[in-house]
Amino acid sequence: MNRSIGQTIAIILIMTLVGCGGSQTKPTSLPAGTPSASPATAIPMTPTAPPPTQPIATVQPLPSGAAGQALLLDSPIPGSAVGNPLTVRGRALLMPFEGTLVVRVYDARGQLAAQTPVQVRGDMQGPVSFETTLMVGGVPGAGKVEVLDLSAKDGAVRASAGAAVTFSSSGYIEAPAPLEWVTLPIHLLARVGQPGQAVNLTVSWEGRAPGQSVQFAQPATVITDANGRGLILTTVNWPTTAQVVSPETQKGSLQIHDASGNLLAYQPLGILHPQDADTMGVNVFWVVGEQVVAESLRIPHTLGMGRAALEALLWGPTPGNASGYTTAIPTPEEVLRYPQRGAGWGERVLLKDLKILEGVAYADFSKELLAHSGGAARVLLIRQQIEQTLLQFSTVNRVVITVEGQRDMLEP
């Protein structure tokens, strides 16, 4: 990659958020000299465009004489194709509690991809109207938009209205999941862009002052997945040249833009402060030169500390980190280019199982752990990274490593 691109781009901006549903932040474009996308024909994600014929909007009357609340969703229209930003508009027969309804959006996998309160407008006696614009994450395809009037007493649904829609996008972020609570560094899996394309990965969240936000960006290059499509598998963290701000625990987003600043993918997140009570510390062991050294990380609190530490290890260190951390464990690029990969091979090394019995940790990995050229030195480093990451825990005295359930696979 061009040296100007290989250096981490730090963008720490203070800017006003747009609307209650979040903002679409457009970072500074990548510097001149950014490698352009490869000449290969782009393979579109599904879906890539709205249906040829869009449904026609018709104004529906609110139910008359209803004994209770009634909601009507005017936009989006059922069966329509929508994208970011998404406008939700409708009416309610009665004024909801504190004049507030809730909008929820579900993606093609049924995941909650966005949620926001919306204030209604109108007389206390009703009817009232509402409108909001929000950014949506998740997986494109057939999804649903709904608006709810929730009981102030127990959160039960008093009334609801919804529309089945198709979310159109040129790409999407698969991990982290939408609205997931994460810590920095963030482990990113995105199916987006064209192989060879230069992109910016932007993390954004509200600042300490009301109505403001903080963000930073990290450059990346789209690689080719097993099907010839664009793929990003990397770790995102504060640039080494930037002052770490560490805003308080709050909502944020992870965005992917092309070199011109066009939004390619968006994911709403919750970002935990490093000292939040819902975080904990673990060590992950990287390679520096020919030695294995520890890096202390803060991760979301979990009862499966050993599994969480190994998962962080398999994602790899932040690219271009100031400490010179690397990994001997095969990277996604190595896995995807491995000459002996066969049917059923994935895109990266996965932890299949971890059991700790009588002081022995049994760690089983996917076959992608074998995607390297061998050699005693590298195999030793792989084993040391895994073993040291597990031996930090007082319940582990010895580590047994298997690949697809088979012992003695990780040999020179």
Q: Give the pLDDT of residue 23.
A: 44
How large is the average pLDDT for residues 29-54?
38
Asked, as a colleague might, if the bond just before 185 is cis with ω within 30 of 0, I would say yes
Q: Is 101 helix (H, G, I), strand (E, B) or coil?
A: strand
Strand order in the sheet with 212-221: 15-16, 212-221, 198-206, 250-258, 263-271, 181-182
Q: Give the pLDDT of residue 244.
A: 84
Q: Give the pLDDT of residue 211.
A: 65
Percent of the chain with pLDDT over 90: 75
Which helix (H) or strand (E) segment is 102 a member of? strand 100-106
How large is the average pLDDT for residues 176-192?
98
**In the structure, what pLDDT confidence band is assigned to residue 312 with cuts at 50, 70 and 90?**
very high
Both structure tokens of 140: 């494109």
Nearest CA among 276, 351, 277 for reference residue 312: 351
Is residue 86 over pLDDT 70?
yes
Residues 6+ apart with CB under 8 A from 52: none
Nearest CA among 406, 383, 398 for reference residue 327: 383
Is residue 32 over pLDDT 70?
no
Q: Give the pLDDT of residue 60.
A: 62
Q: Give the pLDDT of residue 61.
A: 66
**In the structure, what pLDDT confidence band is assigned to residue 240 with cuts at 50, 70 and 90?**
confident
Q: What is the pTM of this model?
A: 0.83
Question: Whole-angstrom Cα distance, residue 186 to residue 271?
Answer: 9
First to last CA, the chain: 31
Is residue 15 over pLDDT 50?
no
Mean pLDDT of the residues in the chain: 86
Domains in the chain with CATH codes: 71-167 (2.60.40.1220), 277-412 (no CATH)
Q: Give the pLDDT of residue 207.
A: 63
Query: Mind listing the pLDDT tens digit for each residue in 345-370?
Result: 999 999 999 999 999 999 999 999 99
Q: Give the pLDDT of residue 242.
A: 76
Question: Whole-angstrom Cα distance, residue 84 to residue 20?
Answer: 15
DSSP states along 354-368: EEEETTEEEEEE-GG
Q: Give the pLDDT of residue 405.
A: 96
Q: Give the pLDDT of residue 145.
A: 98
Residue type, 254: L
**In the structure, what pLDDT confidence band is assigned to residue 41 with cuts at 50, 70 and 90?**
very low
**In the structure, what pLDDT confidence band is assigned to residue 323 with cuts at 50, 70 and 90?**
very high
Lowest-pLDDT range of 152-156, 170-174, 299-303, 314-318: 152-156
Question: Whole-angstrom Cα distance, residue 333 to residue 355?
Answer: 29
